[in-house]
Amino acid sequence: MKETINVTVWNEFRHERLEEACREIYPDGIHGLIKSFLDKEPRLNVRLAALDDPDNGLPDEVLNGTNVLLWWGHMAHHEVPDALVERIRDRVYKGKMGLIVLHSGHHSKVFREVVGTNGNLSWGRDQQEIVWNLLPAHPIAAGIPDHFELFEELYCEPFYIPQPDELVFGSWFEDGFIFRSGLCYYRGAGKVFYFQPGHEFCRSFYNEYVQRIITNAVYWAVPNDFGYQIPDGAPCIDYKLSGK
């Protein structure tokens, strides 16, 4: 396990700048609020990145030094360059970086490309949500009760995603809909976690359990210390037993 975990919190950072109601909830941006609670972890070295930063906030020196990338986007998915998406996918697949996708990031190019999905789902009005802990033995569920409540934007099934490798959380909404709200994928040698709460006009990122889940997910998503070099491509193997 790495001594220091380099975390980059990427946020589109448009709603908070353009809409007063959102700015009142997240005056430092959604990414700023996430950084504020991740900074409480001594092992985490957290930096911020945004769509309108130079190189979209992720030049090579930043992306290549990131162990875990958190991604929030909504209104400008189409502005993220395809070349950047490919670089992110390649780092995840090669086991060099974990990926955590939050809320409306389900439609981001990054989530769709890395997981292999169109990211489509159904949605509706903000309402009461119960988040159920479906896999309490999972590292991401550590410290989380059997359920907790949020006031959130409705996301509901059908969610057109591949079957998750691990379904950690599921949600019920007061209108009667359900949603697979916290799920894990293994892609190549990398790990991906998607978590539904985080609408820009809701205060979910202030919730203690949401913060704990995201923090747990960072530690879970850290790449393994692999005992071999993961190749890029499909090399021919010329191997003989040692005879020992």
Q: Is the pLDDT of residue 231 over 90?
A: no
CA distance 18 to 14: 6
Query: For residue range 84-99, what is the model confidence (pLDDT) as tens digits?
Result: 999 999 999 999 999 9
pLDDT at 239: 84
Whether residue 98 lies inside any domain: the answer is yes
162: preceding bond cis by omega (within 30 degrees) = no
161 phi/psi in degrees, rounded to 5:
-125, 160
Would you say how long the chain is, in residues? 244
Q: Which two structure tokens, joined as six digits, stand for 19? A: 């809409």
Q: Is residue 88 part of a domain?
A: yes
154, part of any domain? no
Predicted pLDDT of residue 23: 97
pLDDT score of 169: 99
> How far is 136 from 140, CA to CA, in rounded Å?
8
| Structural domain span for residue 82 | 5-118+179-221
Q: Is residue 226 part of a domain?
A: no
E strands, 157-211, are 166-173, 178-187, 190-195
Indicate the burial class of 12 (C-beta count within 10 angstroms; 0-12, 13-18, 19 or more): buried
Q: What is the CATH number of the domain that holds 194?
A: 3.40.50.880
Domain contains 123:
no
pLDDT at 206 over 60: yes
The total number of structural domains that make up the chain:
1
Indicate whether 112 belongs to any domain: yes
Taking CA atoms, 24 is separated from 21, 28, 221, 240, in Å, by 5, 9, 31, 64
Tell me, yes or no, whether 129 lies in a domain: no
Does residue 73 lie within any of the structural domains?
yes
pLDDT at 65: 97
Distance CA 105, CA 195 (A): 9
Q: What is the pTM of this model?
A: 0.97
Q: How confident is the model at residue 100 (pLDDT cuts 50, 70, 90)?
A: very high
- CA 1 – CA 162 distance, rounded (Å): 29
Local confidence band at 229 (pLDDT 50, 70, 90 cut-offs):
confident
How confident is the model at residue 2, as a pLDDT? Answer: 55
Q: What is the pLDDT of residue 243?
A: 75
pLDDT, mean over the chain: 96
